[in-house]
């Protein structure tokens, strides 16, 4: 019995099958002290680490010790998290940053910067804004 392969048909069959897509989760951090009084963040995040340390780059209106929350979250929650953080962060020098494998977010009170990872133009816009609101240079170190 002879078997024949129709490569075009095989390729079409493979293309129509549902394939598992590996999505990179959101990975980020924020300083607890950056949240405004009565602020709430209600996005499904997984706590990775909480640590407290001297704030070596704090400005005059920021506390001398910070509590940092390192988190991960579902890749599709980035925009909602940004919206909630923009409403929850105290005005001024505070920000939160996080990223997936393809997108970065830098969030200030009332302002969100979203750009593709590796996009120096988008990153530079966030840095310019951060400088304008008084974020110290040492804190402008979010990943590319």
pLDDT tens, position by position, 39-89: 999 999 999 999 999 988 777 778 889 999 999 999 999 999 999 999 999
Instruction: State the CB neighbour count (10 A cutoff) for residue 20.
Output: 5
| Residue pair 78/112 in contact by the 8 Å Cβ criterion | no
CA end-to-end span of the chain: 58
> For residue 9, with 0-12 CB atoms within 10 Å meaning exposed, 13-18 middle and 19 or more buried, which class applies?
exposed
Torsional class of 132: left (φ above 0), alpha (ψ -120 to 50), beta (otherwise): alpha
- Domain regions of the chain by residue span: 23-139
Q: What is the pTM assigned to this prediction?
A: 0.80
């Amino acid at each position: 019995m002879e078997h024949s392969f129709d490569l075009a048909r095989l390729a079409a069959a493979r293309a129509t099958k549902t394939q598992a897509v590996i999505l990179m989760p959101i990975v980020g951090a924020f300083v607890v002290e950056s949240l405004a009084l009565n602020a709430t963040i209600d996005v499904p995040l997984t706590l990775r680490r909480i640590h407290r340390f001297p704030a070596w780059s704090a400005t005059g209106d920021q506390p001398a010790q910070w509590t940092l929350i390192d988190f991960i979250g579902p890749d599709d929650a980035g925009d909602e998290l940004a919206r909630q953080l923009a409403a929850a962060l105290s005005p001024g020098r505070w920000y939160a940053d996080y990223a997936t494998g393809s997108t970065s977010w830098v969030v200030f009170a009332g302002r969100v910067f979203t750009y593709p990872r590796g996009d120096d133009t988008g990153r530079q816009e966030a840095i310019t804004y951060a400088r304008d609101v008084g974020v110290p240079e040492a804190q402008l170190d979010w990943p590319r």
